[in-house]
């Protein structure tokens, strides 16, 4: 009887450890996709939590391209001092209509009060297309 109890205890512990290990692996997979704080703000604004987890688990190239779009498809104009709070106010989707076809453009972001230099449409498209290629 004791050996059956030991066996059952062992099986319960092993099963619990296995489930914990799988959860840790899933969490690690999510954490492996590096995104900027601004991208995280934009993802939460425009996507559901389930959609974000799904992309981070199964579509890392999409997350990388969204990270480029939301936080790297522009630069803060040189010479400005700014805070992290100002950066997190930038919503690049509101400035897309200001992008030019084949050259960068400088614009004032009303939310952050920062001057930004936006990548051109052609650079944006080429960069995202390259990131979305499946190897």
Spacing of C-alpha 89 from chain mean position = 16
Q: Within a domain: residue 56?
A: yes
Residue 10: inside a domain: no
Q: 63-74: per-residue pLDDT in tens?
A: 999 999 999 999
**How does residue 132 score in pLDDT terms, banded at 50, 70 and 90?**
confident
- This prediction's pTM: 0.73
Q: How far apart are CA 47 and CA 94, in angstroms?
A: 16
Half-sphere exposure of 39 (CA within 13 A, CB side): 19
Q: Which tokens belong to 111?
A: 């939310």
Mean pLDDT of 22-42: 65
Question: Is residue 22 a part of any domain in this protein?
Answer: no
In a domain, 27, yes or no: no
The answer as to whether 1 is a domain residue is no
Backbone angles phi, psi at 117, to 5 degrees: -110, 110
Contacts of 96 (CB under 8 A, 6+ apart): none
Instruction: Output the pLDDT for position 11.
Output: 39
Rounded Cα distance between 105 and 89, Å, is: 19
Domain limits for position 72:
33-132
Query: Minimal CA–CA distance to 71: which of 106, 110, 43?
Result: 43
Number of domains observed in the structure of the chain: 1
94: in domain: yes
- For 70-105, the pLDDT digits (tens) are 999 999 999 999 999 999 999 999 999 999 999 999
């Amino acid at each position: 009887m004791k050996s059956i109890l030991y066996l059952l205890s062992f099986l319960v512990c092993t099963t619990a450890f296995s489930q914990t290990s799988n959860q840790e692996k899933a969490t690690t997979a999510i954490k492996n996709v590096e995104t900027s704080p601004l991208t995280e703000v934009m993802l939460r604004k425009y996507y559901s939590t389930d959609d974000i987890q799904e992309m981070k688990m199964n579509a890392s190239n999409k997350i990388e391209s969204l990270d480029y779009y939301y936080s790297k498809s522009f630069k803060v104009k040189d010479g400005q001092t700014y805070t992290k709070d100002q950066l997190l106010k930038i919503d690049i989707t509101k400035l897309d209509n200001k992008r030019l076809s084949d050259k960068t453009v400088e614009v004032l972001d009303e939310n952050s009060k920062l001057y930004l230099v936006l990548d051109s449409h052609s650079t944006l498209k080429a960069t995202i297309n390259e990131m979305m290629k499946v190897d």
